[in-house]
Amino acid sequence: MNIYWQLIWAYIKIGIFGFGGGYAMLSLVEHSVVDPGWISETMFTDIVAISQMTPGPIGINSATYIGYVAPGEVNPQLASPLFGILGSVAATLAVILPSFFLVIYASHFIRKHNESGVIKAIFSGLRPVVVGLIASAAILLMNNANFNPNGRTDQLIINIIISIIAFVLVYFKFPYRGKKINIHPILVIILAGTAGFLIYGI
């Protein structure tokens, strides 16, 4: 079978069976791309590392990268940017499309029955759960990889301070020219990146 169809099929499967997003999907991705010999184990680890250092969902990042290198790995004749970009587009679209249609279908179903008491009741039960889901995402990220990657107490303290300042900036309103304004989360990310560069990069 053509490498492009193989890529599309592999990523459609990842899109359908990848529950829980991001890191929960990684072992499935690893299985689907390392086993057929598209990339090596080391390369896969590299791609995960790069995904952590670039914006965007890790599922998309890995699809784009693996889609680019896979055609050349399988067939040296396809080792050119053009065939690579084709693979990137194929894999990225393939991983998006299943959930794209599932989400649209589910949304339409819910909208159609929106006025029914049952749907309203179900969502009133779901809202407190979603609050818990967001909280669990925050708790799971409070780990060494994010706060203490090198196992040093001084860095841990600096990173906790960065986190607290970021929270204060994004949560509270600040007076500005007679108005109360919120600071945009994107600005907070830019400030935190600048702080990281000034503290750790120089």
> Considering only residues 133, 173, 174, 176, which one is a binding residue for other proteins as defined by CB under 8 A?
133
1 or 138: whose CB is closer to other proteins?
138
Residue 121 in contact with other proteins, rule: CB under 8 A: yes
Residues 79-98 that bind other proteins (CB under 8 A): 81, 84-85, 88, 92, 95-96, 98
CB of 27 to other proteins, least distance (A): 14
Q: How far apart are CA 195 and CA 168, in angstroms?
A: 16
Stretch that binds other proteins, among 2-10, 30-38, 44-52 (CB under 8 A): 44-52
Residues 163-192 that bind other proteins (CB under 8 A): 163-164, 166-167, 170-171, 182, 184-186, 188-189, 191-192
Q: How far apart are CA 82 and CA 116, in angstroms?
A: 52
Residue 125 in contact with other proteins, rule: CB under 8 A: yes
Residue 58 in contact with other proteins, rule: CB under 8 A: yes
